[in-house]
Amino acid sequence: MSAGVGVDLESLWIRFGDFVAVRDANVHINGGDFFSFLGPSGCGKTTILRAVSGFLEPSEGNVLIGGRNMKGIGPNKRPTALIFQNLALFPLMKVWENIAFSMEINGASAAERRKRADELLDMIALPGQGDKLPSELSGGQRQRVAIARALCAEPDVLLLDEPLSALDLKLRQHMRTELREIQKRVGITFIYITHDQGEALTMSDNIAVMREGIIDQIGDGKAIYNDPATAFAASFVGENNVFRGKIKRISGDEALVATNRSGDLVARISTANQGKMKEGDDAMMFIRPEAFAIASKGAKGDHFVTAKVNHEEFEGNSFNIFMEGGGGKELKVTIPNLGQSFKDHTGQSLTLEYEIKNSVVVPAGELAAE
C-alpha cells in the first residue's frame, strides 16, 4: 500500500458574513494517517471538512490534497469521499446500488457494479445484504454501508463527519475498532471529525484540538493528553483538575506556581510553552485525577495537596474521591481498584501526592465548558 495522499491546510480562513468559522488554520496531514479534528460543537471542525471536500470555498488560504491546490475544484472532482453525519444513504436505492453509486456515475455496467458492491459488502461483514433497502438495516449496518459507498469511489482521502454520533454506546465502541481496522486495510488518509475525545484518542494517529475556529494544538493522542498546549486542550481532552495561580519561579522546564487555594505547587511547563512563560504570569496548572496518590497524613512539600473529602463513589474499576478546596471548586481523584481495602474518608482531610512529570502548567486561558 502506498503512503497515501497527504492534505495541507495553508492559512485557511473561512468567514460567514462577520462570523469567523475558521481562523488561520495551518495543518499538515500525513498521507495514510488517521487524523482527527477534535472540538466542541460549533468550533468550526465541520466547516474545515466541508472546505476539504469542496462544498465550501475558503475565504482565504488554500486546501492542498496530495500537493495539488484544490481552489475552484468542485466536490465531484476532488479525490475525497465524505461520510455524512446522518450518513445520507439514498433511501430509494438498494444497499448494493448505494454502494456502487460512484460506479454508476462512471457508467459501469450493472454486473460490474454488483460484483464490486458484493466485494465491499464482504469487506464490511454484511454479505448477502445487498438487496435490502437502507431502511431495513440497523444503525451500525447503515454506518458500514456508508463507509463502503465512500470507499467504492476509491478516494485518496476519506472524510468522516461525526459518523458515530448517532449510534448507541456499545456500537460506537465497536465501530471505533472497526473503523481503525478498515483504515489500516485500505491505507488511505482518514480525516475524522468528532467532539468525543474518546473516539479521537483511540483511533487517531494525530489529533487537532479546535476551539472557536482556532486550532489549539496538533499532536498524537499521548501528546495531547499528557502535554496539552493550552488550558482549553487540557480541560477538553479527558478529565482534569485545574489550579489557578501565578508563576512564582521558573527553573528549567519546571515552574513553581503560587496557587490561589492550595499553596505553592511545582509543575512541569508544557512543551509548547517552555521558554514562553515568565515569572508573575497568570497560569493554570493541571493534574489528572489518576495522577494523584494518597500520601501519608501531614506530609508537606511542593507536590502535596491537602483537602477535605466531600464524597466518594465506587465506579467498579476505580474509586472516585471528590474533595473541596484545591485550585478549582472541586478536586477529583481517581484511585484504581486493585483489590485493596478502601475505607471511607468522607469528611476527613486527606493529603495527596503527585509526580511533577504528571502535572502541567500552561498560560491561563479559557477552559472547556463542562
Partner 1 sequence: MKNLSFLRLSVWFYLAIFFAYLLGPLIIMSATAFNSPDFPRITPWECLTFEWFSALFQDERILNGIKNSVIIGFGTVVLSVAMGLAGALLLTQIWPKLRATYYTIIIAPILIPGVVLGISTLVFWDRINRMLGLGADSFLSNGLFLTIIGQSTFIASYCMLVLVARLQRYDVALTEAALDLGATHAQAFRKVLLPFMRPALASAAVLAFLASFENYNTTTFTFGEYPTLTIELAQKVRYGITPAISALAFIIVVLTVFAALANEAKIKRQQLVLAARQNASIEELKQGIKLPGFLSGNAAAVALVLVSIATVVVVVTATTHSPAQCIADVKEQKRIEAEKLIQELRAKRDANRAKEDNKEDVQQAPKSENNSGFGNVFDPNALSTDN
Distance CA 293, CA 220 (A): 27
The residue within the footprint of partner 1, chosen from 36, 46, 53, 306 (CB under 8 A), is 53
Distance CA 113, CA 321 (A): 58
Residue 131 binds partner 1 (CB under 8 A):
yes
Residue 90 binds partner 1 (CB under 8 A):
yes
Residue 365 binds partner 1 (CB under 8 A):
no
| Cβ at position 203, least distance to partner 1 in Å | 22
Residue 16 binds partner 1 (CB under 8 A):
no
The residue within the footprint of partner 1, chosen from 8, 10, 24, 104 (CB under 8 A), is 104
Residue 101 binds partner 1 (CB under 8 A):
yes
The residue within the footprint of partner 1, chosen from 129, 173, 274, 351 (CB under 8 A), is 129
Among residues 224, 230, 254, which one has the least CA distance to residue 242?
230
Residues 47/21, Cβ–Cβ less than 8 Å: yes
Residue 339 binds partner 1 (CB under 8 A):
no
Residue 20 binds partner 1 (CB under 8 A):
no
Extract the runs of DSSP E, i.e. beta strands, from the chain.
7-16, 19-29, 34-38, 60-65, 68-69, 80-83, 157-161, 189-194, 206-211, 214-219, 241-251, 254-259, 263-269, 282-287, 292-294, 304-314, 318-324, 330-336, 349-354, 359-363
Stretch that binds partner 1, among 18-26, 86-94, 322-330, 344-352 (CB under 8 A): 86-94
Residue 304 binds partner 1 (CB under 8 A):
no
Residue 120 binds partner 1 (CB under 8 A):
no
Residue 118 binds partner 1 (CB under 8 A):
no
| Cβ at position 146, least distance to partner 1 in Å | 9
| Cβ at position 27, least distance to partner 1 in Å | 21
Closer CB to partner 1, residue 136 or residue 220?
A: 136
Residue 189 binds partner 1 (CB under 8 A):
no
Among residues 85, 74, 49, 62, which one has the least CA distance to residue 157?
49
Does residue 261 sit in helix, strand or coil?
coil
Which three three-digit cell numbers place residue 155?
Answer: 478516494
Does residue 135 sit in helix, strand or coil?
helix
Stretch that binds partner 1, among 146-154, 281-289, 325-333, 341-349 (CB under 8 A): 146-154
The residue within the footprint of partner 1, chosen from 31, 61, 75, 365 (CB under 8 A), is 75
Residue 26 binds partner 1 (CB under 8 A):
no
Considering only residues 235 through 264, tell me which ones interact with partner 1, judged by CB under 8 A.
Answer: none
Closer CB to partner 1, residue 109 or residue 177?
A: 109
| Cβ at position 369, least distance to partner 1 in Å | 28
Spell out the residues 6+ positions from residue 271 whose beta carbon is closer than 8 angstroms to its own.
223, 227, 229
Dihedral of the alpha carbons of 265, 270, 276, 280, in degrees to the nearest 10: -20
Does residue 64 sit in helix, strand or coil?
strand
Extract the runs of DSSP E, i.e. beta strands, from 252-324.
254-259, 263-269, 282-287, 292-294, 304-314, 318-324
Strand-pair category, 318-324 with 304-314: antiparallel
Residue 136 binds partner 1 (CB under 8 A):
yes
| Cβ at position 18, least distance to partner 1 in Å | 17
Distance CA 359, CA 188 (A): 36
Stretch that binds partner 1, among 27-35, 73-81, 192-200, 310-318 (CB under 8 A): 73-81
Distance CA 273, CA 57 (A): 34
The residue within the footprint of partner 1, chosen from 76, 251, 340, 341 (CB under 8 A), is 76
Can you name the residues that pair with 62 across neighbouring β-strands? Answer: 10
Among residues 175, 125, 182, which one has the least CA distance to residue 150?
182
Residue 35 binds partner 1 (CB under 8 A):
no
Residue 110 binds partner 1 (CB under 8 A):
no
Judged by the rule CB under 8 A, the positions of this chain that interact with partner 1 are 53-55, 74-77, 80-82, 84, 86, 88-92, 101-102, 104-106, 128-129, 131-132, 136, 149-150, 153
